[in-house]
Amino acid sequence: MEAIMRDSLTLTEKFALLYMNGLNHDEDVFAEEYKEEKNMYAILIELLMEKCIQINDRRVVEFVQPPLDQPKYMNLVIKALSDPNPLLARKLKSWVDFFKAREELLHKIHSDILDRLKNKDLLFDIEEKQVYLVMTKTIYHLETDTTESMIKQMKKELMGDEPLTKQTFALYLLLKITKVVDYYFSKDIQRKINQILDLYLTENQEIKGWIRQLLSTGTKAPKKKNKVKRKTDEEDDEAIYENDREEDNDNQEGDDDEDEEGFIEAVGEFLSEIFD
């Protein structure tokens, strides 16, 4: 039954459970600790895995087709991705910024993910009154048997004991991106995993091709820019679009195809820097 439940979860749902559990290192976590924009990393990678979006040679996300029987949270994202507005032609990181700038939409996406977990009895809300603040805060209580089972399966695949799936590889990336990986894997284990992945990626053309797609989105941390107060979504769109143009200029000389050694090095950079 546990395996059936684990396999019925989407990549985004698995990530949400592992991210919440890794935040507090316990069964309970305050709702306020969950950074809702982190969901977007999982959703966009899930869409890429399902071939609903692709990355063109300018590193811009292109909408291909909606997935079958997509959940509500996916529909909300697809509606934006499929908009023909040229200002919405942006890279993966810029799409995260796009949703982050729209708190109401981001919260709707987040709420649907949590509702799906609650319907599967993997997440429960508890209201607890704070004595000094005299107010209630929502606490998420997790069903930790499932998270433990997921991590055990991930370790088997990442350590080479079982065939590595794209979903497990993606989950490992997401734990790295959101900086909760240390809760689940020691530094020593992570070094071993990275060595195994380097070897595995040279031999597995399917996953190698998929990772090359991810790497083509650009993995370097963006340059810090002075914050400017903006009044409208349209102004945010133009700012994000302009940032993409600047990144294109910065990376123009580095767009040549990587050689084999460069590709493996790029995977290592991706593990530590994408979406930083």
Contact 275, 217 (CB under 8 A): no
| Structure tokens, 209 | 């091709």
**pLDDT, mean of residues 96-117:** 93
pTM of the model: 0.74
The reported pLDDT for the residue numbered 9 is 93
Rounded Cα–Cα distance for residues 161 and 175 (Å): 20
pLDDT at 90: 80
Spans of all domains in the chain: 2-273
Say if residues 38 and 99 touch (Cβ distance below 8 Å).
no
Give the three-class secondary structure for 34.
coil
* Fold entry, domain 2-273: yeast vps74-n-term truncation variant fold (1.10.3630)
Please report the pLDDT score of residue 26 as a whole number: 56
Q: What's the Cα-to-Cα distance from 193 to each of 34, 186, 190, rounded to whole Å? A: 27, 10, 5
Q: Report the percentage of the chain scoring pLDDT > 90.
A: 26
Which of 155, 190, 183, 170 is closest to 21 using CA atoms?
183
Q: Is residue 220 predicted with pLDDT exceeding 50?
A: no
Give residue 198's pLDDT.
75
Model pLDDT, residue 273: 41
